[in-house]
Amino acid sequence: MNYSLSDEIKLPPPSSREVAGLSLRNVDLRETSRRRLKLKVQEFFIEKFLFLNGLTSIIIIALIFIFLFKEGVKAFTEIKPFQFIGTHIINFSGQEVFAYIWQPVGEQGKYSLAPLVLGSLLVAIPATVIATILGVGSGVYLAEIASRRRREWMKPVIELLAGIPTVIIGFLCLSFLGTAVQNLFHTSFRLNAFVGALGVSLVIVPVIATITDDTIRAIPDDLREAAYALGATRWETIWKVLIPAGISGITASIILGMGRALGETMIVLMATGNAALVTLDIFSSVRTMTATIAAELGAVAQGSAQYYALFLVGATIFTFTFFLNLIAEVVINRMREKLKL
Amino acid sequence: MKCKRQLSGMIFEWTARSFTLISMIALITILGVLFLKGSQVITWEFLTSEPLDGMTRGGIFPAIFGTISVTLLMIILALPLGVASAIYLVEYAGTGFLARTIRAAVNNLAGVPSIVFGLFGVGFFILFLGRNIDKVLQTGLLFGQPAMLWAAATLSILVLPVVIVSTEEAIRAVPLSHREAAYALGATKFQVISRVVLPQSLPGILTGAILSVSRGAGETAPILFTGCAYFLPRLPVVTIPYLNIPMINPLDQFMELSYHLFIMATQSIDAQATRPIQYGTAFVLITLTFLLNLSAISLRIYFRRRHKRR
């Protein structure tokens, strides 16, 4: 007789001996143990299968590391390491000067990473600053000032901002914002680092705002109540108690935002003009590392020096963002332990 | 004194409020501009015809078709992997070193720049995997070139963290008592997972799937070099021999909405003259992603409420 979970179990009334001990009169012991064994083997293989699936994220991260660096390192066999800083060129007046130029196409490719790194920073830093001001402000407002009902619809709306495809933001920067900024600031480039930074900041405002909001709301009410009991106003509570208490979470959100800004591709590709200049002028046209890959990889011969150089640029961005993400993760984990979430 | 403190508090609170408003105004402006300029272009013909005259006239049907097929293929690849991964994380991994490493890897994967995925897609999927498949199967150059399959694979590792995190959240929300009840009835671990936990977390998994489809449909950088085409005179469709059933051909290149918008805005013959097409494409793209996002958000709210009531 087989018992399954759903069957109604009908047994004859137990004898006193059976009640005292466990009786398996109607159960074929061999059958049961065979089924047990089958299930055990099945469970074993399912667990191993799920385990392998669980490893995929680690494997993918490892593969990204391996493949970017494998191709990137080959750049050093084609190009002298020193050339990644700059090259000696002869300028128009016939003097030999040291120049920081990225110009992989041509008789002799020039592979200075300086304009690209500088371009990336010139977009990412202003974008992070703008997004920090807007994002932390919004996060604080959502967490402490807004009424519950308002918060409930405002937060998803701000999160929707992160759902806009970046190519659309890039397109609007190109067609719309660039002209507006030029008319406002009378810049010589219509598409420049500042336009790119404005576009990129839109993408990272939701990142900073939601993490700030979550952090501040996770702070225990004791702190708020203590501050109010001492006679602090709401703003003083926010400024002197809640923000210092949640500063690690807010910092982590800014670091994460910075990582996103450095890695953003489509917006900067479309909005910054893509001229690889060495400059600190925010209204100048720049070319970021990400945009360089996006613009050049399509037309490059596999196995050429430029091809490997582009992978090296990719490896550089990956390393940058990897460490920024790692730092943010460590900071958030520490905060979780401290606040015991 | 008190008055001054309250005044400064008011000023600061209004500043925070206005920052929130600025973010929301930015969103509304973007949507408004796209709606005003895009809706004028949208006609039935625009949605169902092909680009004409060197892409200066005509519609965007191949791009819509390509976007839908590549995201479908992407979610077919990403969903099983992500769900299995999340089940392992919640039900088996515990809180040990391995679990923490996997979680760190998932978080890091979510932060990898999209262009790096594009590079990885070229280096790993096309040049390593594709070329080696060609070598083994003796197929010449069939797999070792940009194709929808590789674009979908690249996108699927991009959305994998989205799937994993939302599935994890959904599985965690299943009360422990339900699991214990099933164990008490003698169910094995996998029976508990497949018959108790998964059915209850299905809505959450669905939400994650919709969100990742929307994310995948909007991404451009990962597919730039892994399978997108500037213009294709045909749809990426193949007829299965003997059965005569048309099927999406995963080894063909394809047109895609976001890539189409990028190309039209930056590399068109006359970018000014084709602005209407660009706005139309942008409008279709954002409508697609927003409808997906909204349905995911409302699904989540609906199931959270239902969950609370129980």
Q: Which helix (H) or strand (E) holds A111?
A: strand A110-111
3-state secondary structure (DSSP) of residue A9: coil
Phi, psi of A190 (to 5 degrees): -70, -40
**Choice between A126 and B269, residue whose per-residue pLDDT is larger:** A126
* B38-42, B149-153, B203-207, B233-237, range with greatest mean pLDDT: B149-153
Residue with more model confidence, B306 or B207: B207
Read off the tokens for B103. 């979680």
Lowest-pLDDT choice from A89-98, A301-310, B70-79: A89-98
By the CB < 8 Å criterion, does A317 face chain B? Answer: yes
Kindly report the pTM of this predicted structure: 0.88
| Average pLDDT of every residue of chain A | 85
Does A181 have pLDDT greater than 80?
A: yes
DSSP class of B232: -
Domain that holds residue B124: 60-309
- Biggest alpha carbon–alpha carbon distance for chain B: 89
User: Over the stretch A58-77, which tens digit does the pLDDT of each residue have?
Assistant: 999 999 999 999 888 888 88
For the stretch B57-102, pLDDT in tens is 788 889 999 999 999 999 999 999 999 999 999 999 888 889 888 9
- Is residue B160 domain-resident? yes
pLDDT value for A340: 62
Distance, CA of B235 to CA of B267 (rounded, Å): 22
- Please report the number of interchain residue pairs, chain A to chain B, with beta-carbon separation below 8 angstroms: 258
CA B279, CA B141: separation in Å to the nearest integer?
37
- Write the pLDDT tens digit of every residue in B109-122: 998 999 999 999 99
Asked whether residue B104 is domain-assigned, the answer is yes
Cα(A174)–Cα(A185) distance, rounded to whole angstroms?
A: 16
* Of A34, A5, A280, A154, the residue nearest B27 (C-alpha): A154
Q: Is B61 on the interface with A (CB under 8 A)?
A: no
Could you tell me the maximum CA-CA distance found in chain A, to the nearest angstrom?
113
- For residue B2, what is the nearest residue in chain A, using CA coordinates? A233
**CATH code of the domain in which B281 resides:** 1.10.3720.10
pLDDT of residue A23: 53
Query: Residue for token digits 């004409």?
Result: B52
Angstrom distance (rounded) from CA B162 to CA B266: 30
B210-223 residue pLDDT tens = 999 999 999 999 99
Q: What pLDDT score does A1 carry? A: 45
Question: Does residue B274 have a pLDDT over 60?
Answer: yes
Specify the number of domains making up chain B. 1
Q: What is the pLDDT of residue B109?
A: 92
Q: Cα(B178)–Cα(B192) distance, rounded to whole angstroms?
A: 9
Domain A99-339 classification at class level: mainly alpha
Q: What is the mean pLDDT of chain B?
A: 88
Amino acid at B289: T
pLDDT at residue number A168: 94
Average pLDDT over every residue of B6-13 = 87
Q: Which residues make beta-bridge pairs with A89?
A: A97
* Section A332-341 average pLDDT: 75
* Vertex B255 angle, CA B251 and B258, to 5°: 130
Q: Is residue A11 scored above 60 in pLDDT? A: no
A172/B262 Cα distance (integer angstroms):
11
Q: Mean pLDDT across the stretch B225-234?
A: 82
Cβ neighbour number for residue B137 with a 10 Å cutoff: 10
Q: CB distance A324–B160 less than 8 Å?
A: no
pLDDT band at B177 (very low <50, low <70, confident <90, very high): very high
Q: What is the DSSP string of B111-167?
A: HS-HHHHHHHIIIIIIIIIIHHHHHHHT-SSSSSS--HHHHHHHHHHHHHHHHHHHH
* Prediction ipTM score: 0.89
DSSP state of A303: T
Whether B223 and chain A come into contact, CB under 8 Å, resolves to no
pLDDT at A25 over 60: no
Residues 6+ apart with CB under 8 A from B295: B210
Per-residue tokens: B21: 């408003």
Task: Show which of residues 80-139 on chain B sit within 8 Å of chain A, judged by CB atoms.
Answer: 81, 84-85, 87-89, 91-93, 101-102, 104-109, 111-116, 118-120, 122-124, 127-128
